[in-house]
Structure 1
Amino acid sequence: MTDDKSARGEDEALKARLEKLSAALDATKQAPTRRFAEAASNDASGQGSAMNLGFRVLTEFVAGVIAGCLIGYLLDLWLGTSPVALIVFIFLGTATGFWNVYRIAMKPTGR
């Protein structure tokens, strides 16, 4: 009778172990599908944030150049100097645009 109880106990332990291994195997089979779905969602959000950053860099650079052109043109009109202030402020606006892009690029990312 003791042998019968110990055999039943071993059978139950083996069944529990088999169920645990089956559950782990099922989870492993589903993991690639889950990882693929997570990767797809990460790529979509990563692509959106990359586009956001690209548009921001473009805007910062173009705004610096346009502001420099506008200031130079208005100074030329006010001072009566032909293209001198325009040329100087185009270069200053371009340098400002590059500086803004550099500052954006040197910011640490959130990851």
Structure 2
Amino acid sequence: MRAGKNESDQELRARLEKLQTELGKQEEERRAETGGGLPVGGSFGKALSAGFTVLSEFVAAILVGALIGWQADGWFGTKPWLLVLFLGLGVAAGFYNVFRFAAPKDARGGG
């Protein structure tokens, strides 16, 4: 029984290798036909993910700053000055987050 299992495992491995080779050939043909198309290897997905991360951090910083300023204006009766101040701080924090995300590790101080 053990010998039969080893033979079937070897057959399956051979079929798997053959399928992988064929898939690789088809992928190369597709790339040649489309002129490369979208970046390969998940780089498009990584770039899209990075873009959404930067966008969400930037927008969140602005919204948090505006919300804090609006609420502080309500408490202290200084409309619209604290809203303007904290909105500006939110924009600055958003730009700082984008810089931190995009800067090389050396510029971040993380060596």
Q: Is the 8 A contact 2:38 2:44 kept in 1?
A: no
Match of 1:60 among 54, 57, 62: 57
Q: CA RMSD in A?
A: 2.9
> Is there any run of 5+ residues in structure 1 with no aligned partner, and where?
1-29
The separation in 2 between residues aligned to 1:103 and 1:93, in whole angstroms, is 15
How many Å apart are 1:33 and its aligned residue? Answer: 3.8
Larger radius of gyration: 1
Q: What is the aligned-residue identity percentage? A: 38
Runs of 4+ with deviation above 4 angstroms: 37-42
The separation in 2 between residues aligned to 1:105 and 1:48, in whole angstroms, is 17
AA in 1 matched with 2:102? A
TM-score (norm 1): 0.60
> Is there any run of 5+ residues in structure 2 with no aligned partner, and where?
1-21, 106-111
Aligned to 1:15: none
Match of 1:105 among 94, 102, 105: 102
TM-score (norm 2): 0.60
Match of 1:94 among 78, 91, 95: 91
How many Å apart are 1:78 and its aligned residue? Answer: 0.5
Q: Deviations over 1:17-52 (max 9, x none)?
A: xxxxxxxxxxxxx9x948837978962500000000
Name whichever of 99-108 and 49-58 sits farther off. Answer: 99-108
Q: How many residues align?
A: 78
User: Residues 41 and 98 (structure 1 numbering): CA distance in 2 closer, same or farther, change over 3 Å?
Assistant: closer
Aligned to 1:14: none
